[in-house]
Amino acid sequence: MTLQWTPDLATGIVEIDQQHRDLYRSIAGLHSAMKGGRLHEVRQVLEFLGSYVAVHFDTEELAMVASGYPGLAEHRAAHQGFTDEYARRRAQVEAGPVTPSMAVELSGWLAVWLRDHVRQLDLAMARFLRPGQRNLAAHAVRLGDFLAGQASRCA
């Protein structure tokens, strides 16, 4: 199991791919802080990861709302499910001593959840957001431009 972003996870939407990469970097940082028993750093990364994930989910949900994506409800429910589970696991880690096995368990769960979610839901969303573009990597769009386009269409 890898704690790194890999190219098969590319959605072709610049901001979203950047955020996914940042999330993987954080997960790897969390893993090493936990393994090293650096509890202060663990708390900092957990805090950062929680906030950054919220920003990331908002980014995606905003794009789905703006485009009238039909899979919005399902996707939003998956995000909510993650948020709830993350809060539960975070409280558990912050409550007690951090052991190496907890480090493996938590970072493993994060990395696998994110990978499965991107493959199943984010890539489907990206296909909808970018109609007619088959080669995602070659035609990466910027989310800000996309949202500006949606806004001008609504005006």
Q: Which of 26, 34 has the CB closer to Fe ion?
A: 26
Q: Which of 15, 122 has the CB closer to Fe ion?
A: 122
Q: Which of 14, 102 has the CB closer to Fe ion?
A: 14
Can you name the residues that pair with 141 across neighbouring β-strands? 13
Q: Which of 15, 60 has the CB closer to Fe ion?
A: 60
Nearest-approach distance from CB 53 to Fe ion, in angstroms: 9
Q: Which of 62, 151 has the CB closer to Fe ion?
A: 62
Nearest to 98 by CA among 41, 16, 15, 154: 41
CB-facing half-sphere around the CA of 135: CA atoms within 13 A:
2
Nearest-approach distance from CB 75 to Fe ion, in angstroms: 6
Which residues make up the interface to Fe ion (CB under 5 A)?
60, 122
What distance in Å separates the CA atoms of residue 128 and residue 69, rounded to the nearest whole number?
A: 7
Nearest-approach distance from CB 31 to Fe ion, in angstroms: 20
Nearest-approach distance from CB 154 to Fe ion, in angstroms: 23
Residue nearest Fe ion, CB atom distance = 122
Burial degree of 76 (CB within 10 A; 0-12, 13-18, 19+): middle
Q: Residue type for 149, please?
A: G
Are 117 and 26 a contacting pair, CB within 8 Å? no
Instruction: Look at the block and give the residue holding tokens 């794009």.
Output: 63
Nearest-approach distance from CB 36 to Fe ion, in angstroms: 28
